[in-house]
Chain A
Amino acid sequence: QSVLTQPPSVSAAPGQKVTISCSGGSSNIGNYYVSWYQQFPGTAPKLLIYDNNKRPSGISDRFSGSTSGTSATLGITGLQTVDEADYYCGTWDDSLSEEVFGGGTKVTVL
């Protein structure tokens, strides 16, 4: 059971938009910045979003992040087959004194 809750999967047709939710609490998302990671099968995760809504150099502007209270959201617009991957949210939890991740969401392009 992950501290941060994500839907196991989301899907949409090419060109559409998907959003992935990440629900936490006051000890984590409510007080700390959220990052998002993209992982393709058999490869290491890669930083996608940091500080809630910032994109590292080289990350497409089709990816966006936002937070509201104790929840965070990753958005992917103009969905492409290359976006099929697992996506994880992460942040610090000061009650646990641990970095915590969501359980991951698999994005499928229909």
Chain B
Amino acid sequence: EVQLVESGGGLVKPGGSLRLSCEAPRFSLSNYNMNWVRQAPGKGLEWVSSITGHSTYIYYGDSVKGRFTISRDNARNSVFLQMTSLRDEDTAVYYCVREHTEGLGNYFDYWGQGTLVTVST
């Protein structure tokens, strides 16, 4: 069974930083593009960032560009999201998501359980 395990969420003050991690105990992340998608309380899904298998291409949503950095360590089978200059509106559950890219279209085939980030004084 494919499993994605996020960690690193918590309470942080506005302007602070936090680093999220995502591990995959049962498959090799290096074969996949990986994404972060977030969901603010009571709101819909918002794509945050993606990184290709060997970090060749990296993309960010406009709302986090310049503040968040996605990275991966394939040797540790992990993906990270470094978040800086955090704002109240960054409060959300952050999901680590595997992207399926072989075939007709790309889509998100497996999602982690999510980790909650709360930005508040």
Contacts and interface: CB of A to CB of B under 8 A. Distances in A.
Contact of B46 (A46, A50, A51, A101): A101
A103 B44 contact: yes
A9 B64 CA distance: 29
B44 A56 contact: no
Interface residues on B, range: 20 to 34
B105 A101 contact: no
Highest count of chain A CB atoms <10 Å: which of B46, B50, B62, B106: B106
Contact of B45 (A32, A47, A51, A88): A88
Interface string A85-110: 00010111000111111111000000
B118 interface: no
Interface residues of A, number: 28
B104 A44 contact: no
B32 interface: no
B45 A104 contact: yes
Contacts of A30: none
Interface string A1-13: 0100000000000
A104 B109 CA distance: 18
Interface in B11-69: 35, 37, 44-47, 50, 59, 61-62
Nearest to A49: B107
Interface of A: 2, 32-35, 37, 43-47, 50-52, 56, 88, 90-92, 96-104
Interface of B: 35, 37, 44-47, 50, 59, 61-62, 95, 100, 103-114
15 contacts: A33-B104, A37-B108, A44-B112, A45-B111, A47-B109, A50-B109, A52-B105, A90-B47, A98-B47, A98-B59, A98-B62, A99-B47, A99-B50, A102-B44, A104-B44
